[in-house]
Amino acid sequence: GHWRGLIRFLDDGRIEVDNNMIERQMRPIGISRRNSLFAGNEGGAKSWAILASLLQTAKLNGLDPFTWLNDVLTRIVSGAVKNNELDQLFAWNWAPGQQAAQLEIAA
């Protein structure tokens, strides 16, 4: 049932045969999937999935993942953020702390 859509580019010259932009965006997913095969065990795979999800969320919100994650972990470990205020560290709510602001200026 998809044949008409698959050959539509033959009738309409404006439609590209492929979409390299999307393919380039999907490439890291395939590479990550291959790399995650070596997570070691189920716990390692779960940790890998959580980290990958956090980093992609930061990217989708226009943040530098390293700066964001470094600042969030620093603020959690130092106790600068109370347990009931953790929602301010979500990528979509995050405002850089002093150390993160210095990293952004240096970059």
**pLDDT surpassing 90 at residue 49:** no
Instruction: Compute how many other C-beta atoms are within 10 angstroms of the C-beta atom of residue 91.
Output: 19
Exposure string for 25-42, b = 16+ CB within 10 A, e = fewer? eeeeeeeeeeeeeeeeee
* Average pLDDT of the segment spanning 9-36: 72
Handedness of CA 58, 88, 47, 76 (dihedral sign): positive
At residue 106, the pLDDT reads 59
Q: How many CA atoms lie within 13 A of 7 on its CB side?
A: 3
Q: What is the pLDDT of residue 27?
A: 73
Give the mean pLDDT of 39-64. Answer: 83
Look up the pTM and report it.
0.58
Residue 45 has pLDDT above 90, yes or no: no
Mean residue pLDDT of the chain comes to 80
Backbone angles phi and psi of 96, in degrees to 5? -60, 140
